[in-house]
Structure 1
Amino acid sequence: MKLRRFIAIFSLIFILGGTYYGYNAYQKIYVANTKFTQKEVAVYIPSGSDYDKAKELLTPYVEDMEKFDWVAGLKKYPENVKSGKFILTQGMSNNDIVGSMRNPVIVHVSFNNQETLQRLAGRLSQQIEPDSLQILNAFTDKAFLEENGLNEDNVLSIFIPNSYEFYWNTSATKVRDKMIKEYRKFWTPERTAKAEALGLTPLQVSALASIVHKETVKTDERPRVAGVYLNRVNKGMKLEADPTVIYSIKKQSGDFDQVIKRVFFKDLVIDSPYNTYKYAGLPPGPIAMPDITAIDAVLNPEKHNYIYFCASVTNFGYHEFAVTPAQHEVNRQKYVAWVEKMGIKR
C-alpha cells in the first residue's frame, strides 16, 4: 500500500511539474511579447551583426527580453542571425518574432528628378543599407564605366525612374549591377531602332530627354518640344535650351539647391560644355534624370515645322510655338512683360 501510495504521489508530482513546465514554456513561446503601439514596426539589422547586436536592436520592441532570449536559443536564432529589414507586428509572440527575424522583407526603392549622381546616391542611401559614398563609388568605378561605354558625365542615363525591389542590405555593387541590367532591358530593340532612325544613341536620347523633361512638366506637350529640338539638330542649329544654362550655373557654383526661374542674357555666355547657347550639339550627359515619358517623347516626336517656343502667359504650364523668329519674338515679348509684371528677378 505504501509503495502504491508513493507511486501515486510521485506520478501526481510529475504530472503537475510537467503541466507547470509546459504552461511556462507555452507562455514563453506563444504569448504576445511586443511593447509597441503601432500596427507594425521595421527593424534593420546591419550586415555582419551578431546576436548581441540583434538583441540590442530588438530591445525597444520586445516586452520581456529574457523570455525572448530563451525562445531564440531554443530555435537556434543566435547562430543564424540575418541582416536586412524585418517587420514586427503588434501582439507577436516570441515564436513569431524569431520567425519574422529569419525572413528579411523586400524594400521598394524609388527615385526620380535627381539632377546629379551625388543626389541620386543620397536618395538611394535613404532607402537601403549602403551609404551614399559606397553607392557613388560603385557607379563611378572606372572598370564598370569602361565596360559599359559610360563616363561620369552620362552614367546618370542608366537610371530609369521607377520602383525597384531590393533587400535592404543589398550591396552597392549589386544595386549597380541590377540598374545596368534594368537599363538594358528598357532599351528594347524597338526603342533602339527609333533612336537610330533619329541618328541618336540611347545615351544621346537620354541627354536630350533630360532637356525636354526640364522644359515642360506637361507630358502631352513633350513630344512637341522634342520635335522642336530635333528640328534644330536637323538644321544644324544650336539647341539654345534655357535648362542647360540653369544646369551650368548650378554645376559651376556647386549649389543645386538654388532656384532659378529666369535666365538673363549675361547667363548665356557661361563657359560650360552643358551650355547649349555657347556649344553646339548635345550636352555631355543628362542635366537631370529624365522620366520615361520624356524619353519616349524624344523617340516619338511630334512632326511639325516649329523651331522656337516660349512659355505661355495665357495657358500656364504650356508653351507658345513659332516657325519664324518674328513670330517667336512676339511670344517672347509677351512673356518678358508678364515676368516683369510679376517681379520675377531670378
Structure 2
Amino acid sequence: MPALLLLLALACTGEGTGDPVRVHVPVGASFSQVADSLEAKGIVRAAPLFKLYARATGDAARVKPGTYAFRAGTGWKTVLHSLVSGDVLTDRIVIPEGWNLAGIAPRIAALTGQDADSILAMLTDSARARALGVPGPTLEGYLYPATYTFPIGVPADTIIARMVNTYRAVWTPERRARADSMGLDEREVVTLASIVEKEARIASEMPTIAAVYHNRLRIGMPLQADPTVQYALGVHRERLLYAAIDSVADNPYNTYRNRGLPPGPIASPSARAIDAVLAPDSARYLYFVARPDGSHVFTRSLAEHNRAKAAAQRERAAARNAAPRADTTGTP
C-alpha cells in the first residue's frame, strides 16, 4: 500500500521531461482509449490506475476532443486539467483585406492539409453558398478578412462557416437598414465595397472612392474599375493596358465594357470598405488617379483627370530617376 500511495503521489504531480508529444483525442473517443494512447506515448504511467483516478475525480467523462501536447511523465492532474479544459493546440490563419477566393483557398488548405484546388471547389460550390445563406453562387466576398485561431485538425467546413459567420456579424441590422435606404441590396453593397477595398491604399480615401463609383452609377457611366478587369484576367497587373482590357471584352466583370456593377464581389471587403459604400463622401468627383505614394487625386471633369494623370506620370518618372542605381562598373 505505501508503494501504491507513492506511485499515485508521483504520478499526479510533475511537469514531465523531454520534447512535447502530440496526442489526438478523436470525437467520441472513450476515456479508456484516451488513457491507453497517453500511456503508449509515454506521457502517463500505469494507465489502469490513471483511469481509476480520472473516474474518481469525475474528469473521465469531461474530456474534450482535439490535439494536445504533453511531455513524457506529465502529472495526471496536469494532463486531466488540459483534457477537460480543452487546452488543445491551435493554428492561426490570416485573411488579408481585399483577398479573393483564389488567394484564400491555399491558406485554408495549409491549415487543413488538403490541396488548394479542393478547397477552392468548396468555396465556389453554389450549394454550400446557399446553405450558408450567402446571396450569390459562390462565397466570393463573404469570407471576412480577419485573423482566426482554430484547433489543429479542424475541418475545412468549420473554418469556412466561421469566416462567413464573422461576415454576418459585420452585416448588422443598422448597415442593412442603411443599404435599404439607399436602394441597395446586400450583394450590391458587398460588390461595390470589394472594388473600393481593392482600389484604396489609404483607408481614409475609401468614402471618396466610393463616392466616385456612386456618382458614375447614378449617371450611367461605366465604373471603369481596374480591379474588376484584373479579376476577369485572373492575374494582377500593375499597369492595365487597353490590350488587356480588350482581351476580356466579353467578360461580365469588365467594367470598361459593361455598365453598372459587375455580377458579384471580386474580393473580401473590410467593414471600413462596406461603411464607405454606405456612407460615401458627398463630393461630385467622377475620376481619380493614383499617385506614387498610394494616394489619389480626385477630379470632376475628364480634362482635369487627364491633367492629374499626366502629373502622376511625371511624379512616377521623377521617382524612378531619383532611385539609386546599382554600380555595374565593378571594382579594380
TM-score, normalised relative to structure 2: 0.76
**1:23 and 2:2 aligned:** no
Larger CA deviation: 240-249 vs 220-229: 240-249
Q: What CA distance in whole angstroms lies between the structure 2 residues aligned with 1:133 and 1:226?
A: 33
1:336 corresponds to: 313
Cα pair 1:84 1:169 within 8 Å, conserved: yes
The Cα of 1:219 is off from its aligned counterpart by: 0.9
The Cα of 1:290 is off from its aligned counterpart by: 1.1
Deviations 1:101-124 (A, max 9, x none): 343247565422363324323323
**1:247 and 2:231 aligned:** yes
The Cα of 1:321 is off from its aligned counterpart by: 0.8
Q: What CA distance in whole angstroms lies between the structure 1 residues aligned with 2:206 and 2:102?
A: 27
Structure 2: runs of 5+ lacking an equivalent: 322-332
Give secondary structure in 1 for the equivalent of 2:85: coil
Cα pair 2:215 2:284 within 8 Å, conserved: yes
The Cα of 1:78 is off from its aligned counterpart by: 9.4
Cα pair 1:121 1:133 within 8 Å, conserved: yes
Cα pair 2:135 2:186 within 8 Å, conserved: no
2:202 corresponds to: 218
2:66 corresponds to: 84
**1:93 and 2:78 aligned:** no
In structure 2, the CA distance between the partners of 1:54 and 1:290, relative to structure 1 (3 Å rule), is farther
**1:230 and 2:214 aligned:** yes
**1:104 and 2:86 aligned:** yes
In structure 2, the CA distance between the partners of 1:306 and 1:80, relative to structure 1 (3 Å rule), is closer
The Cα of 1:268 is off from its aligned counterpart by: 2.0
Give secondary structure in 1 for the equivalent of 2:18: coil
Taking the TM superposition and a 5 Å limit, the aligned residue runs for 1:131-142 are 136=120, 138-142=122-126
2:271 corresponds to: 292
Give secondary structure in 1 for the equivalent of 2:288: strand
Question: Over aligned residues, Cα RMSD in angstroms?
Answer: 3.7
**1:190 and 2:174 aligned:** yes
Give secondary structure in 1 for the equivalent of 2:240: coil
Amino acid in the other structure paired with 1:241: A
In structure 2, the CA distance between the partners of 1:86 and 1:188, relative to structure 1 (3 Å rule), is same
The Cα of 1:161 is off from its aligned counterpart by: 2.2
1:306 to 285, 288, 298: 285
Cα pair 2:97 2:197 within 8 Å, conserved: no
Cα pair 1:43 1:88 within 8 Å, conserved: yes
Cα pair 2:100 2:141 within 8 Å, conserved: no
Q: What CA distance in whole angstroms lies between the structure 1 residues aligned with 2:264 and 2:181?
A: 20
1:159 corresponds to: 143
Q: What CA distance in whole angstroms lies between the structure 2 residues aligned with 1:134 and 1:105?
A: 30
Q: What CA distance in whole angstroms lies between the structure 1 residues aligned with 2:73 and 2:286?
A: 65
The Cα of 1:221 is off from its aligned counterpart by: 0.8
Cα pair 2:97 2:146 within 8 Å, conserved: no
Cα pair 2:35 2:50 within 8 Å, conserved: no
**1:150 and 2:135 aligned:** yes
Larger CA deviation: 260-269 vs 91-100: 91-100
Amino acid in the other structure paired with 2:231: Y
In structure 2, the CA distance between the partners of 1:317 and 1:141, relative to structure 1 (3 Å rule), is closer
Of all paired residues, the percent bearing the same amino acid is: 29
The Cα of 1:173 is off from its aligned counterpart by: 3.8
Q: What CA distance in whole angstroms lies between the structure 2 residues aligned with 1:55 and 1:191?
A: 51
The Cα of 1:135 is off from its aligned counterpart by: 5.2
Cα pair 1:310 1:328 within 8 Å, conserved: yes
Cα pair 1:54 1:81 within 8 Å, conserved: no
Cα pair 1:34 1:92 within 8 Å, conserved: yes
Cα pair 2:286 2:301 within 8 Å, conserved: yes
Q: What CA distance in whole angstroms lies between the structure 2 residues aligned with 1:141 and 1:46?
A: 31
Deviations 1:233-252 (A, max 9, x none): 00100000112222222x2x
Give secondary structure in 1 for the equivalent of 2:243: helix
Q: What CA distance in whole angstroms lies between the structure 2 residues aligned with 1:179 and 1:19?
A: 55
Amino acid in the other structure paired with 1:67: R
The Cα of 1:333 is off from its aligned counterpart by: 1.2
**1:317 and 2:301 aligned:** no
Larger CA deviation: 159-168 vs 193-202: 159-168
**1:200 and 2:178 aligned:** no
Deviations 1:208-241 (A, max 9, x none): 1111111112111110111011100001000001
TM-score, normalised relative to structure 1: 0.74
Deviations 1:157-198 (A, max 9, x none): 222223456555554444444444443432222211222233
Number of aligned positions between the proteins? 308
2:329 corresponds to: none
1:8 corresponds to: none
Cα pair 1:116 1:288 within 8 Å, conserved: yes
In structure 2, the CA distance between the partners of 1:261 and 1:29, relative to structure 1 (3 Å rule), is same
**1:326 and 2:310 aligned:** no
Taking the TM superposition and a 5 Å limit, the aligned residue runs for 1:247-286 are 247-249=231-233, 251=234, 256=235, 260-271=237-248, 272-286=251-265
Give secondary structure in 1 for the equivalent of 2:129: helix
Q: What CA distance in whole angstroms lies between the structure 1 residues aligned with 2:112 and 2:23?
A: 10
Q: What CA distance in whole angstroms lies between the structure 2 residues aligned with 1:311 and 1:320?
A: 7
The Cα of 1:322 is off from its aligned counterpart by: 0.7
Q: What CA distance in whole angstroms lies between the structure 2 residues aligned with 1:309 and 1:141?
A: 36
Cα pair 2:253 2:262 within 8 Å, conserved: yes
Q: What CA distance in whole angstroms lies between the structure 1 residues aligned with 2:246 and 2:278?
A: 30
